Amino acid sequence: MPSMESILPASTVSEINRLLNSSGTRLDGLNTLELSLNYFSLDVLNDNASQWIVQLLRIMRAGDYGFQKAAKALGNLLEISASSSELSRDLSSAIPQVINVLGNPKQKEENLPASFDCLATVLKNFRGPVFPFKNAMEDLLLSYFDLVDLIAVSSLAKCYAQLPQIGGSGIKGLSHKQAWSEQSDKVILSLKSTLKSFLGETVSEEGLNLPKMTAVDPITDMHRMAVRYRNLCMVLSRMLSDPFPAPKCIPVASILSLSNEVFCLSPLALSKRIGGNTSEGKERQKLFPDLQVVMLQLLNNLIKSCRKQLLPHGRSICSFALQVLQWSHTPLELREVGRDRPHRKLRSAAYNTLAHWVNASNTGSRIEKFAIDLSKEIFSDIVTDRDVVALQKVEISAKKKRGSLSYDTVKPIDHHIDRLANAEVCNAALTLLGRILRSLSSIITLEFYQMAQKIILPIVIELEAGIEESPIPYSDSAVCRKSIYKVLEALVVCPHSSGYPPYSYAISAFSCGQNDPDLEVSSTCFDALKSCEAIIHPVTVPVGFAMKPPVNENITSESMVESSISKLWKTVEEDITRKSTVEPSKITDVNGRASASIYVQSHSEERVTSIVDEKMEDDDQDRMDSVSNISTSPEHNNFDSDVDIADTPLMKEVVDCQTLLHLHYPQQLRMYGQYYGRAQENR
């Protein structure tokens, strides 16, 4: 948003115009304009924006070295102008000229990324003026769907994702919503037809109006089909991830069906399906993993867009990634130290997809159903390659063998060792493992948790010995060291309910990890060490936990009476229960509390009387001693000795106890009330 007052002096505008009008200083003028746009006031932009657009378009028409700088400056100028309704209205008349220049099909390929970025800004901020050119823009973008440059394709996808927003939105964005659904369906149909063409099958469905490929030779056409498939996936991914002014109706079932067609095929299954002995079949097997990589990236964007709405399809998502990991697995005996393994990019994409899915769905991911098979793949990429010492036996001729023995020599490694080999796939596997331990520690199996400890702890112990002596790729990859420390923290912070967290190992490892030369790794170890210390030695009791109430040494008279009555009632009830027999009678007090069933036949009046007398005499003496202590306490100077305890709620409970006893012992316990009344009068 331009400011009301310009920060730059007025002479800056004249200097920019002077530099832009001269061919020798044009590049300096473009740089100055790009850096100064955000510091001009709204009035300055109103006076000069139209003139600058004309100058920038003239530079872009020339197509020289200043095209990319001019396109970037033009995009920034239009982006700033869109924040002001007055300024955007004034510049709307120049939009057709901008589209004419940006839509030039003869522009150089190196200028396409800058051109597409500027066009995306126009489509986003000037939807009304662009509407008459919508069909022309779509045809222009479709003609570039076979580009090889990834940067240009990324900018192209950003432009194509803006097309459904052009025009009126309708009631509650219904027009935009319908346009987005129609365009996404066309892209999915084009993906299916392109896949069939790549596999050499007959195409029966047509989606987008893509240009027809001229047949050159089968292998070249196959490469072009693979490039087109990648570009279509990038376009659909951009449509899923970019914000949209109306609700999107994402075709989840169609995308998952397309994913199933791609992931169910492995190179072995592909060779059986289309024949793998020919040169075309071998080339298809070589290119097919690239198709699965872009399909996994599309699946990532689908997960980011839908998140927990994909929970019913969790099993399918996990099975897709697991199928890729299983067929791309490299056995240990075929691995070489310090060399990248095949399909590492594909395996990294599969791990990233699963990590995104676990992060989005947590315990609903259903990944625990595949824990056994998945653990084999994860741990195989985490375990480092070891140098294998091979002994080569040297044979000696018969003459030289006399008096001497044959000996063995160490066979050296005959290839260059890359200390960062397989770092990407190792980091992806560690990231997924850490996410599983943090999100699913309550539902994963104990075997999975214990196996993770057996794999992680030896590597961490080797890191403690020194980074130089650490295995590949942990020795040179700070990202892998950071990830493995995070996994160790997850083992401690989120343990299995039946497992034993490795506290002692973790504290030692994190203490040593604070000396790591990489700042991010040392910071990670510092944070993890603080988490472990907080668990083992908490500073105080956490909020919300039950605490013991403070003990009050000064006991009130009411609490003493309550204690004595409770003891008396308990003693009488236990004695009567022990001495009574025959005919159970359920006793329930007046408050609705059920007492034990006792057997009542007879009980001597003397026995009950003696119990009552003894208890009351002891309690009277204790009570009088305590009251005398309370009256002298400085905290009870206002103690009123004339308070009638009979009026307190505690006395009501005493009466309830008397009523309960007289229900079953009317003669024996009549003396209890009389004795208690005399005790009250004496006090």
Task: Note the pLDDT of residue 172.
Answer: 80
The full set of domain ranges for the chain reads 1-167, 371-387+419-536, 560-633+642-682
The model carries a pTM of 0.74
Contact 94, 77 (CB under 8 A): no
Could you tell me the pLDDT band of residue 644, with boundaries at 50, 70 and 90? very low
Whole-number average pLDDT of the chain: 80
Cis peptide before 473 (omega within 30 of 0): yes
Could you tell me the pLDDT band of residue 89, with boundaries at 50, 70 and 90? confident
Residue 588 backbone dihedrals phi, psi, to 5 degrees: -135, 125
Could you tell me the two tokens for 246?
Answer: 């109306």
Buried b (16+ CB within 10 A) or exposed e, 392-420: eeeeeeeeeeeeeeeeeeeeeeeeeeeeb
Q: Is the pLDDT of residue 217 over 90?
A: no
- The stretches of 103-211 forming alpha helices (DSSP H) are 112-125, 127-130, 134-142, 150-160, 174-198
The dihedral sign for the CA sequence 208, 214, 216, 218: positive
Alpha-carbon span 226 to 221, nearest angstrom: 9
Alpha-carbon span 14 to 362, nearest angstrom: 59
Q: How far is CA 482 from the centre of its chain?
A: 17
Alpha-carbon span 665 to 58, nearest angstrom: 114
Residue with tokens 């299916």: 192
Distances (CA, A) of 622 to 192, 345, 633, 674, 680: 93, 84, 17, 20, 14
Could you tell me the pLDDT band of residue 539, with boundaries at 50, 70 and 90? confident
Closest CA to 569 of 656, 507, 482: 656
| Tens digit of each residue's pLDDT (9 = 90 or more) over 584-641 | 444 444 444 444 333 333 444 445 455 555 555 555 555 455 444 444 444 444 434 4
Q: Cα-Cα-Cα-Cα dihedral of 57, 63, 66, 69, to 10°?
A: 60
Considering only 244-248, 423-427, 549-553, which range has the smallest mean pLDDT? 549-553
DSSP conformation class of 330: -
Alpha-carbon span 232 to 238, nearest angstrom: 10
Buried b (16+ CB within 10 A) or exposed e, 341-369: bebbebbbbbbbbbbbbbbbbeebbbbbe
Task: Note the pLDDT of residue 410.
Answer: 46
Q: Is the pLDDT of residue 532 over 60?
A: yes
Q: Higher confidence at residue 617 or residue 205?
A: 205
Distances (CA, A) of 48 to 8, 16, 664: 14, 11, 106
**CATH number for the domain running over 1-167:** 1.25.10.10
Task: Note the pLDDT of residue 41.
Answer: 84
DSSP 509-520: HHHHHTT-SSHH
Task: Note the pLDDT of residue 401.
Answer: 47
DSSP SS3 for 261: helix
Could you tell me the two tokens for 549?
Answer: 């109430």
Alpha-carbon span 436 to 619, nearest angstrom: 64
